[in-house]
């Protein structure tokens, strides 16, 4: 059974461990110390004005993945949008409906927040993610170009 719920500050360590898996998935060989990462999560996720929404999925009681998203304004005209920054499912839980459950909860959160759309990017070299988004009927938006300006 898949359970998805909003996170609380008690979930900071679980989120940190999942982020370690994300980093490893993308090729990281060195990880931040766990206590540093937990402190960052408390600072970025559970305090401050622009608090992101973080959803945590469990399968049979074990952490299986998470989604992190934030409200953006303005979107179309003066509406707001939900930006999905990260959607990650641990290897042992993939192809079991976890990603779909998480994205459905993101969409529901966006609707509750009065958003006009949900937006995200995906790495071009992540065929599993690209196939998942295609399979759920989301089309690539060719009208946008993604830019990134490193600040360090």
Is residue 4 within a helix (H) or strand (E), and if so which, with residue range?
strand 2-6
Q: Residue 66's beta-bridge partner residues?
A: 56, 88
Domain of residue 57 covers: 2-135
Q: Is residue 142 part of a domain?
A: no
User: How many structural domains comprise the chain?
Assistant: 1
Q: What is the pLDDT of residues 17-61, one digit of tens each?
A: 999 999 899 888 889 899 998 988 888 788 766 688 999 999 999
140 Cα distance to chain centroid: 18
The pTM (predicted TM-score) of the whole model is: 0.80
In angstroms, the CA 114 to CA 75 distance is 11
Q: What is the pLDDT of residues 69-116, one digit of tens each?
A: 999 877 766 678 999 999 999 999 999 999 999 999 999 999 998 898
Domain of 63, CATH number, reads 3.40.630.30
Q: Is residue 75 part of a domain?
A: yes
Q: Is residue 150 part of a domain?
A: no
């Amino acid at each position: 059974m898949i359970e998805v719920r909003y996170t609380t500050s008690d979930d900071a360590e679980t989120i940190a461990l999942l982020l370690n898996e994300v980093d490893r998935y993308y090729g990281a060989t060195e990880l931040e110390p766990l206590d540093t990462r937990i402190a960052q999560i408390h600072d970025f996720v559970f305090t401050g004005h622009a608090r992101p929404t973080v959803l945590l999925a469990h399968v049979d009681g074990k952490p299986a993945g998470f989604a992190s998203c934030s409200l953006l304004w303005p979107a179309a005209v003066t509406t707001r949008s939900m930006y999905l920054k990260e959607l990650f499912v641990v290897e042992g839980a993939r192809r079991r409906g976890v990603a779909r459950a998480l994205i459905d909860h993101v969409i529901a959160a966006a609707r509750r927040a009065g958003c006009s759309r949900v937006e995200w990017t995906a790495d071009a070299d992540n065929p599993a993610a690209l196939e998942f988004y295609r399979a759920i009927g989301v089309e690539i938006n060719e009208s946008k170009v993604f830019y990134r300006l490193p600040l360090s």
